[in-house]
């Protein structure tokens, strides 16, 4: 496996004013392999967002290092040594970001929001960027919204626009800070279906989430407490899990409701079991 992103002994302190400071990251060591689907859980204020911003180079740390394989797996670049301009370009071209509050440009259409950073990167001709934008909207099921202003879309649809925008430059990694946080459970499931597809296509995904159901669908769950990574769990890819319902039972259900529905049902059962296991794990750590 190839390491895509790693942090070594990250420490960060916020200075609230001249007298008060608070250390929020303590020697955080983390490695994400190319192709992984990782989530970070932990209580509010434990430093999850701070960690995510440090990992994507949006925020500087006091000490420690973040390394990223910017296209060539053998050579990791150290983010904090990059000049500001190069860091910005690396973020634009190699990283995608999806947040709970979707920072879309209100005066632009859905399509223009999606393609803007494709134009900015200048890596591909505009015609190609437009075609990719349309394909992404198509794939995320919001093609008919292309010409609408973003004020005319629902929360779940906007989150899809955010994901399309994050994918326009074909990033190596997609970072999400509670990308399903503002959504109801159905919309949240749909976004997770989409992120799972994106991951299956080869994009590494790193999410912060409070939702055990979301975490249960990722490959590896990290637990943060008081600025430290204290534990991790590997629920494993849902598709590979064969335990649970007997084959006979699945066969009966397939006959009745069709293969697709039986598969969804089985996946639900698996996610449900993983969710329960994660809840127990979180309780063990007092979360
Ligand atoms: N700009 C800032 N200045 C000072 N303190 C900050 C700043 N940003 C965050 N903090 C503090 O750092 C700590 C970690 O914040 P962070 O946003 O990383 O937590 P979190 O785990 O993402 O929480 P949540 O789940 O509520 O989003 C908190 O105590 C927060 O108050
Ligand atoms: Mg946060």
Would you say the CB of residue 16 lies under 6 angstroms from ligand 1? yes
Listed in sequence order, the residues at least 6 apart from 5 whose beta carbon sits closer than 8 Å to its beta carbon are 30, 31, 32, 55, 66, 67, 68, 69, 173, 204, 206
Burial pattern 31-41, b for ≥16 Cβ within 10 A else e, equals ebebbbbbbbb
What is the position in ligand 1's atom list of the atom closest to the CA of 227?
14
Say how far apart CA 179 and CA 209 lie, in whole Å.
8
Q: Which two tokens stand for residue 158?
A: 């906007």
Q: Is residue 48 lining ligand 1, measured as CB closer than 6 Å?
A: yes
For residue 16, give the ligand nearest its CA. 1
Q: What residue ranges of the chain have pLDDT lower than 50?
A: 237, 240-241
Q: What is the pLDDT of residue 166?
A: 94
User: According to the model, what pLDDT value does residue 14 have?
Assistant: 94
**Whether the CB of 24 sits within 6 Å of ligand 1:** yes
Residue with tokens 């089985």: 266
The CB of 12 under 6 Å from ligand 1? The reply is no
Whole-number Å distance, alpha carbon 85 to ligand 2 midpoint, is 26
Please report, for residues 25, 48, 57, 63, 240, the alpha-carbon distance to residue 9 in angstroms, rounded to integers and kept in the order given. Answer: 9, 15, 15, 7, 34
23 touches 47 (CB < 8 A) = no
Q: Best substitution site from 45, 56, 179 to test ligand 1's pocket, by max atoms within 8 Å of Cβ?
A: 45
Rounded Cα distance, 184 and 189, in Å: 9
CA distances from 62 to 23, 27, 66, 87, 114 (A): 10, 11, 12, 17, 34
Q: Are 219 and 233 in contact (CB under 8 A)?
A: no
Model pLDDT, residue 268: 81
DSSP helix/strand/coil, 213: helix
CA 168 – CA 122 distance, rounded (Å): 12
Whole-model pTM?
Answer: 0.87
- Nearest atom in ligand 1 to 210's CA: 25
User: What pLDDT sits at residue 167?
Assistant: 94
Report d(CA 143, CA 260) in Å as an integer.
24
- 76 CA distance to ligand 2 middle (Å): 27
Q: Which atom of ligand 1 is nearest to the CA of 47?
A: 18
What does the pLDDT read at residue 190? 86
Integer Cα distance of 13 and 22 in angstroms: 5
Residue 27 φ/ψ, nearest 5 degrees: 40, 55
The whole-number pLDDT of residue 245 equals 52
CA of 111 to the centre of ligand 2 (A): 28
pLDDT on residue 185: 86
CATH topology for 3-105+172-236? Rossmann fold (3.40.50)
DSSP string, 34-98: TT-EEEEE--TTSSHHHHHHHHTTSS--SEEEEEE--S-TT--EEGGGS-HHHHHHHHHHHEEEE
pLDDT of residue 70: 64
Per-residue pLDDT, 225: 97
């Amino acid at each position: 496996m190839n390491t895509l992103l790693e942090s070594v002994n990250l420490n960060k302190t916020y200075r609230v004013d001249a007298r008060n400071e608070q250390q929020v990251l303590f020697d955080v060591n983390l490695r994400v392999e190319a192709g992984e689907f990782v989530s970070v859980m932990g209580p509010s204020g434990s430093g999850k967002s701070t960690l995510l911003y440090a990992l994507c180079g949006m925020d500087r740390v006091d000490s420690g290092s973040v390394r990223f394989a910017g296209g060539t797996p053998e050579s990791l670049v150290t983010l904090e040594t990059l000049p500001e301009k190069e860091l910005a370009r690396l973020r634009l071209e190699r990283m995608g970001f999806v947040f709970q509050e979707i920072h879309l440009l209100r005066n632009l259409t859905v399509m223009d929001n999606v393609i803007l950073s494709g134009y900015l990167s200048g890596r591909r001709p505009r015609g190609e960027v437009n075609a990719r934008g349309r394909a992404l909207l198509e794939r995320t099921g919001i093609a008919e919204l292309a010409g609408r202003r973003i004020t005319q879309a629902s929360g779940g649809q906007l989150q899809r626009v955010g994901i399309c925008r994050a994918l326009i430059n074909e990033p190596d990694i997609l970072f999400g800070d509670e990308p399903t946080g503002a959504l109801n459970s159905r919309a949240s499931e749909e976004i997770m279906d989409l992120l799972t597809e994106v991951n299956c296509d080869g994009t590494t995904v790193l999410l912060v989430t409070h939702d055990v159901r979301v975490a249960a669908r990722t490959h590896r769950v990290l637990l943060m407490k008081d600025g430290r990574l204290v534990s991790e769990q590997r629920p494993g890819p849902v598709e590979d899990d064969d335990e649970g319902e007997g084959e006979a039972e699945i066969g009966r259900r397939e006959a009745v409701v069709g293969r697709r529905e039986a598969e969804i049902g089985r996946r639900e059962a698996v996610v449900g079991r993983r969710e329960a296991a994660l809840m127990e794990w979180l309780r063990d750590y007092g979360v």
